Amino acid sequence: MNKLITALLLTAILVSCKKTSTEDENYYTLAATVVDFDASTPIAAAKVYVIAYIGGAPLDSALSDVNGKVAFSFKKEGPYKFLTPVKNNYINPMNTVPAHLNYDNRTEFLYLARPSYVNVTVHKTGTYLPSDSVNVQVTGDYAPPPIFQNPGYRLLFKDKAEAPDKIFNLQSAYGRVMGSFFFGASKLHFTTDIIRNGAVISTQKDSTSLIQFSIKNYTLNY
Protein backbone atom coordinates (compact mmCIF):
# COMPACT_ATOMS: atom_id res chain seq x y z
CA MET A 1 0.00 0.00 0.00
CA ASN A 2 2.81 2.38 0.94
CA LYS A 3 4.57 1.59 -2.36
CA LEU A 4 1.38 2.40 -4.27
CA ILE A 5 0.98 5.76 -2.50
CA THR A 6 4.63 6.60 -3.17
CA ALA A 7 4.27 5.72 -6.85
CA LEU A 8 1.14 7.86 -7.17
CA LEU A 9 2.87 10.82 -5.52
CA LEU A 10 5.88 10.53 -7.84
CA THR A 11 3.59 10.33 -10.87
CA ALA A 12 1.68 13.43 -9.71
CA ILE A 13 4.93 15.35 -9.19
CA LEU A 14 6.27 14.40 -12.61
CA VAL A 15 3.00 15.37 -14.34
CA SER A 16 2.95 18.68 -12.44
CA CYS A 17 6.57 19.47 -13.39
CA LYS A 18 5.93 18.62 -17.02
CA LYS A 19 2.82 20.82 -17.10
CA THR A 20 4.64 23.77 -15.48
CA SER A 21 7.54 23.43 -17.90
CA THR A 22 5.17 23.41 -20.87
CA GLU A 23 3.30 26.44 -19.55
CA ASP A 24 6.58 28.35 -19.06
CA GLU A 25 7.58 27.64 -22.65
CA ASN A 26 4.35 29.24 -23.85
CA TYR A 27 5.11 32.59 -22.19
CA TYR A 28 7.81 35.23 -22.49
CA THR A 29 8.90 38.10 -20.24
CA LEU A 30 9.38 41.80 -20.93
CA ALA A 31 11.43 43.35 -18.11
CA ALA A 32 12.95 46.81 -17.76
CA THR A 33 14.62 49.29 -15.44
CA VAL A 34 13.46 52.92 -15.69
CA VAL A 35 16.48 55.23 -15.46
CA ASP A 36 17.08 58.99 -15.29
CA PHE A 37 18.49 60.04 -18.67
CA ASP A 38 21.07 62.38 -17.13
CA ALA A 39 21.80 61.04 -13.64
CA SER A 40 21.64 57.32 -14.60
CA THR A 41 19.74 56.63 -11.36
CA PRO A 42 16.61 54.43 -11.13
CA ILE A 43 13.21 56.12 -11.21
CA ALA A 44 10.47 54.70 -8.98
CA ALA A 45 6.72 54.99 -9.61
CA ALA A 46 7.05 55.55 -13.35
CA LYS A 47 4.10 54.11 -15.24
CA VAL A 48 5.34 51.70 -17.90
CA TYR A 49 2.95 50.89 -20.74
CA VAL A 50 3.02 47.84 -22.98
CA ILE A 51 2.36 48.96 -26.55
CA ALA A 52 1.66 46.80 -29.58
CA TYR A 53 3.81 47.70 -32.57
CA ILE A 54 0.71 47.77 -34.76
CA GLY A 55 -0.75 50.56 -32.59
CA GLY A 56 -3.91 50.79 -30.56
CA ALA A 57 -4.56 51.21 -26.84
CA PRO A 58 -1.91 50.02 -24.32
CA LEU A 59 -2.13 46.30 -23.62
CA ASP A 60 -1.01 46.55 -20.00
CA SER A 61 0.76 48.87 -17.55
CA ALA A 62 2.53 48.78 -14.20
CA LEU A 63 4.48 51.10 -11.89
CA SER A 64 8.24 50.71 -11.53
CA ASP A 65 9.39 49.67 -8.04
CA VAL A 66 11.87 51.50 -5.78
CA ASN A 67 14.71 50.17 -7.94
CA GLY A 68 13.03 51.31 -11.14
CA LYS A 69 12.22 47.75 -12.16
CA VAL A 70 9.09 46.40 -13.82
CA ALA A 71 8.21 43.14 -15.59
CA PHE A 72 5.38 41.67 -17.65
CA SER A 73 4.61 38.12 -18.77
CA PHE A 74 2.77 37.40 -22.01
CA LYS A 75 1.64 34.36 -23.90
CA LYS A 76 3.59 33.79 -27.11
CA GLU A 77 0.94 35.13 -29.44
CA GLY A 78 -0.14 38.39 -31.00
CA PRO A 79 1.88 41.37 -32.32
CA TYR A 80 5.34 42.57 -31.32
CA LYS A 81 5.21 44.51 -28.05
CA PHE A 82 7.46 47.21 -26.61
CA LEU A 83 7.60 49.23 -23.39
CA THR A 84 7.39 52.98 -22.90
CA PRO A 85 7.63 54.88 -19.57
CA VAL A 86 5.66 57.94 -18.45
CA LYS A 87 5.94 60.06 -15.30
CA ASN A 88 4.85 63.57 -14.36
CA ASN A 89 7.59 66.19 -14.86
CA TYR A 90 9.57 63.85 -17.13
CA ILE A 91 9.66 63.32 -20.88
CA ASN A 92 10.86 60.41 -23.00
CA PRO A 93 14.12 61.25 -24.82
CA MET A 94 14.19 58.07 -26.91
CA ASN A 95 11.51 57.27 -29.46
CA THR A 96 12.91 53.85 -30.32
CA VAL A 97 11.68 50.27 -30.59
CA PRO A 98 14.18 47.53 -29.53
CA ALA A 99 15.35 45.25 -32.33
CA HIS A 100 14.41 41.81 -31.01
CA LEU A 101 12.56 38.83 -32.35
CA ASN A 102 8.95 38.62 -31.27
CA TYR A 103 8.39 36.48 -28.14
CA ASP A 104 12.04 36.82 -27.01
CA ASN A 105 12.57 37.33 -23.29
CA ARG A 106 13.85 40.89 -23.01
CA THR A 107 15.49 42.99 -20.31
CA GLU A 108 16.17 46.61 -21.20
CA PHE A 109 16.66 50.14 -19.87
CA LEU A 110 13.93 52.76 -20.33
CA TYR A 111 14.95 56.41 -20.00
CA LEU A 112 13.10 59.46 -18.74
CA ALA A 113 14.53 62.98 -18.86
CA ARG A 114 13.85 66.08 -16.83
CA PRO A 115 12.71 68.70 -19.35
CA SER A 116 14.27 71.97 -20.42
CA TYR A 117 11.78 74.76 -21.18
CA VAL A 118 11.67 77.51 -23.79
CA ASN A 119 9.06 80.27 -23.56
CA VAL A 120 8.74 81.52 -27.14
CA THR A 121 7.26 84.93 -27.98
CA VAL A 122 6.41 85.27 -31.68
CA HIS A 123 6.72 88.98 -32.51
CA LYS A 124 6.04 90.94 -35.70
CA THR A 125 8.80 93.38 -36.68
CA GLY A 126 8.09 93.69 -40.42
CA THR A 127 5.34 95.49 -42.33
CA TYR A 128 2.71 93.32 -43.99
CA LEU A 129 -0.55 93.60 -45.88
CA PRO A 130 -3.77 92.99 -43.93
CA SER A 131 -4.34 89.82 -45.97
CA ASP A 132 -0.85 88.36 -45.35
CA SER A 133 -0.53 85.38 -43.03
CA VAL A 134 2.35 83.88 -41.04
CA ASN A 135 3.05 80.17 -40.67
CA VAL A 136 5.51 79.04 -37.96
CA GLN A 137 6.80 75.47 -37.61
CA VAL A 138 9.07 74.04 -34.91
CA THR A 139 11.18 70.91 -34.47
CA GLY A 140 13.07 69.55 -31.47
CA ASP A 141 10.28 70.07 -28.94
CA TYR A 142 7.87 67.60 -27.36
CA ALA A 143 4.33 68.47 -28.37
CA PRO A 144 1.45 67.75 -25.96
CA PRO A 145 1.19 65.12 -24.67
CA PRO A 146 4.99 65.40 -24.28
CA ILE A 147 5.83 61.70 -24.44
CA PHE A 148 8.03 61.59 -27.53
CA GLN A 149 10.04 64.13 -29.46
CA ASN A 150 8.46 65.22 -32.74
CA PRO A 151 10.17 63.38 -35.62
CA GLY A 152 10.08 66.48 -37.84
CA TYR A 153 8.69 69.98 -38.08
CA ARG A 154 5.21 70.52 -36.68
CA LEU A 155 2.91 73.50 -37.09
CA LEU A 156 3.25 75.82 -34.10
CA PHE A 157 0.66 78.30 -35.34
CA LYS A 158 -0.80 80.04 -38.38
CA ASP A 159 -2.45 83.46 -38.21
CA LYS A 160 -2.67 86.88 -39.81
CA ALA A 161 0.80 88.43 -40.10
CA GLU A 162 -0.52 91.59 -38.39
CA ALA A 163 -1.74 89.60 -35.36
CA PRO A 164 -0.57 90.51 -31.83
CA ASP A 165 2.31 88.68 -30.17
CA LYS A 166 1.77 85.05 -29.28
CA ILE A 167 3.48 83.12 -26.47
CA PHE A 168 4.17 79.38 -26.50
CA ASN A 169 5.60 77.30 -23.66
CA LEU A 170 7.70 74.55 -25.23
CA GLN A 171 9.73 71.77 -23.65
CA SER A 172 12.41 69.35 -24.76
CA ALA A 173 15.03 66.92 -23.46
CA TYR A 174 18.55 68.36 -23.30
CA GLY A 175 20.44 66.02 -25.58
CA ARG A 176 23.37 63.69 -24.98
CA VAL A 177 25.31 61.07 -26.89
CA MET A 178 24.69 57.44 -25.94
CA GLY A 179 26.82 54.95 -27.82
CA SER A 180 26.94 56.21 -31.39
CA PHE A 181 23.58 58.00 -31.25
CA PHE A 182 22.47 61.46 -30.10
CA PHE A 183 19.19 61.54 -28.22
CA GLY A 184 17.18 64.57 -27.21
CA ALA A 185 17.97 68.02 -28.62
CA SER A 186 20.50 70.81 -28.22
CA LYS A 187 18.36 73.40 -29.99
CA LEU A 188 14.83 74.16 -31.10
CA HIS A 189 14.59 75.05 -34.79
CA PHE A 190 11.92 77.25 -36.37
CA THR A 191 10.78 77.89 -39.94
CA THR A 192 8.65 80.98 -40.56
CA ASP A 193 6.78 81.49 -43.83
CA ILE A 194 4.99 84.67 -44.87
CA ILE A 195 2.10 83.84 -47.19
CA ARG A 196 0.45 86.27 -49.61
CA ASN A 197 -2.39 85.34 -51.95
CA GLY A 198 -1.81 81.67 -51.21
CA ALA A 199 1.91 81.73 -52.07
CA VAL A 200 4.96 81.84 -49.79
CA ILE A 201 6.76 85.15 -50.37
CA SER A 202 9.49 84.75 -47.73
CA THR A 203 10.96 82.05 -45.51
CA GLN A 204 13.29 82.45 -42.56
CA LYS A 205 15.10 79.90 -40.39
CA ASP A 206 15.80 80.48 -36.70
CA SER A 207 17.02 78.43 -33.75
CA THR A 208 17.65 78.77 -30.04
CA SER A 209 19.80 76.63 -27.73
CA LEU A 210 18.32 74.81 -24.75
CA ILE A 211 19.46 75.46 -21.19
CA GLN A 212 19.61 72.15 -19.32
CA PHE A 213 16.89 71.77 -16.65
CA SER A 214 16.10 75.48 -16.90
CA ILE A 215 13.72 77.96 -18.53
CA LYS A 216 14.79 80.15 -21.43
CA ASN A 217 12.87 83.11 -22.83
CA TYR A 218 13.20 83.53 -26.57
CA THR A 219 11.69 86.01 -29.03
CA LEU A 220 11.08 84.86 -32.59
CA ASN A 221 10.85 87.95 -34.79
CA TYR A 222 9.37 87.98 -38.28
4 Cβ contact partners less than 8 Å away, ≥ 6 residues apart: none
Res 209 pLDDT > 70: yes
pLDDT at res. 24: 77
**Same domain membership, residue 206 and residue 145:** yes
Q: CATH number, domain at 81? A: 2.60.40.10
**Same domain membership, residue 124 and residue 100:** no
Domain count, the chain: 2
**Same domain membership, residue 149 and residue 183:** yes
Kindly report, residue by residue over 98-131, the tens digit of the pLDDT. Answer: 677 788 899 999 999 999 999 999 999 999 999 9
**Same domain membership, residue 158 and residue 123:** yes
Of the two residues 104 and 18, the one the predictor is more confident about is: 104
The size of the chain, in residues, is 222
Q: Which residue range forms the structural domain that includes residue 170?
A: 116-221
pTM of this prediction exceeds 0.75: yes
90 Cβ contact partners less than 8 Å away, ≥ 6 residues apart: 43, 46, 112, 113, 114, 115
**Same domain membership, residue 121 and residue 106:** no
For 145, other C-beta atoms within 10 Å of its C-beta total 8
**Same domain membership, residue 213 and residue 128:** yes
Give one DSSP letter per residue of 51-75, joined into a string: EETT-SS-SEEEE--TTSEEEEEEE
Of the two residues 96 and 48, the one the predictor is more confident about is: 48
**Same domain membership, residue 128 and residue 208:** yes
Which of the listed residues 112, 128, 151 is the one where a domain comes to its end? 112
Kindly report, residue by residue over 74-107, the tens digit of the pLDDT. Answer: 999 999 999 999 999 999 888 666 677 788 899 9
Which of the listed residues 60, 82, 112 is the one where a domain comes to its end? 112
Rounded Cα distance between 22 and 25, Å, is 5
The reply to whether 20 falls in a domain is no
For residue 149, name the pLDDT band (cuts at 50, 70, 90): low
